[in-house]
Structure 1
Amino acid sequence: MDKIRLRDKEFKLFIPEKEIQEAIAKMAARIKEDMEGKNPLFVGVLNGAFMFVAELMRQLNGPYQLTFARYSSYQGTSTTGKIHEVMPLTSDIEGRVVVLLEDIVDSGYTMQHVMKKLRNEGAAEVRLATMLLKPDALKCDLRPDYIGIEIPNDFIVGYGLDYDEMGRAYRDIYTIIE
């Protein structure tokens, strides 16, 4: 589909599924190499990262431990600036390498907050893998360790990303038409 409509907004095709999967495959190869001989805990950040996490873990194809957590700072198309821990991490992270798996990093505040929290709770190392990065939207000193695709600061949906909880199930990524 070249265009989709979600509630009151229209979106056009931006990144096809094939391009997303190629970027994730490259990222998986780097992560696999970096995690050799370590016992990492992969933490998928819900809700948005579910499709990215599924594809990345398929590409990693190893004995890795995976769990999920959920943090929220968005309402509609903009961030609220307040980070709410909706579903906390329940796995033991003491002395472990934790790799956060995020769908998109824009302001960076949520992941900066979560990474600091995990270090304070005893993680030996905290790394961040993001499917998408909006470098122009970063508002803090955060550089993900693994980046799938860098994109402009446009509002996007699909492949796990939503607009008011709609549009997550699309295989491609769409950008808003203003």
Structure 2
Amino acid sequence: MHLNHPDIKEVLVTAEQIREKIQELAPKIDAFYADKDVLLVGILKGAVPFMADLSRAMQIPTKQDWMAVSSYGSGTVSSGVVRILKDLDTDVKDRNVLIVEDIIDSGLTLSWLTANLKARGAASVEIVTLLRKPDAAKVEIAVRWVGFDIPNEFVVGYGLDFNESYRSMDGVGILSPAVYS
């Protein structure tokens, strides 16, 4: 599915820009984890395309696992109260964990998740995200690698959804407010 969809108000990041950014990020991550065992932890469901493409671009051997977490509050606003919907199958004790995220907005969920993994005894916890909304940040969060900083708009595509639609779009675009209002 392409971004020239009638529900997309504006294209923010094209498929080509995503490919180029992954080719830029992968060697940096490889160098950072050289001679280390690294566990990629993808956050379901949005991070699936990014983690697949990133892990294929990386040259170092990695192990992979997935978590599904839900932060809930009123409607579309995160409260920072987090529920684990699917936990890791892998023990993270003494492991170098790289959280692979599709988007960071408030940072509340990721802040909680980082603390949770450290409390489980992870040797290190770092974050790579394809997208970040600096204007939406509610907490300071140390993100080692960021693909793109984007405006605080409702975006879909490349794993990001609205009611489970638009995930398969090859880039990222702003969803027309008429769709969700």
TM-score using structure 2 length:
0.90
Counterpart-to-counterpart distance in 1, 2:133 and 2:156: 14
Aligned ranges for residues 101-112 of structure 1 at < 5 Å? Answer: 101-112=100-111
Pair 1:97 & 2:110 matched: no
Kept in 2, the 8 Å contact 1:51–1:159? The answer is: yes
Counterpart-to-counterpart distance in 1, 2:163 and 2:74: 5
Kept in 1, the 8 Å contact 2:66–2:88? The answer is: yes
State the one-letter code of the partner of 2:83.
H
Counterpart-to-counterpart distance in 2, 1:79 and 1:21: 30
Counterpart-to-counterpart distance in 2, 1:128 and 1:79: 22
Matched positions, count: 174
What is aligned with 2:29?
Answer: 31
SS in 2 for 1:164: coil
Shift of 1:15: 1.3
What is aligned with 1:58?
Answer: 56
2:71 to 70, 73, 78: 73
Aligned ranges for residues 2-21 of structure 1 at < 5 Å? Answer: 2-5=4-7, 10-21=8-19
Counterpart-to-counterpart distance in 1, 2:151 and 2:74: 19
> For 1:70-120, what per-residue CA distance to the aligned partner results, in whole angstroms no more than 9, with x for missing partners?
112269982332322110112011111100000000000011000000000
Unaligned ranges ≥5, structure 1: none
User: Identity rate of aligned residues, in percent?
Assistant: 32
User: Are residues 137 and 80 of structure 1, via their aligned partners in 2, closer, same or farther at CA, if it must alter by over 3 Å?
Assistant: closer
Kept in 1, the 8 Å contact 2:96–2:125? The answer is: yes
Kept in 1, the 8 Å contact 2:78–2:108? The answer is: no
> For 1:30-88, what per-residue CA distance to the aligned partner results, in whole angstroms no more than 9, with x for missing partners?
10000001001110110000000011011004321011111122699823323221101
Unaligned ranges ≥5, structure 2: none
TM-score using structure 1 length:
0.91
Kept in 1, the 8 Å contact 2:105–2:137? The answer is: yes
Structure in which a larger fraction of residues adopt strand: 1
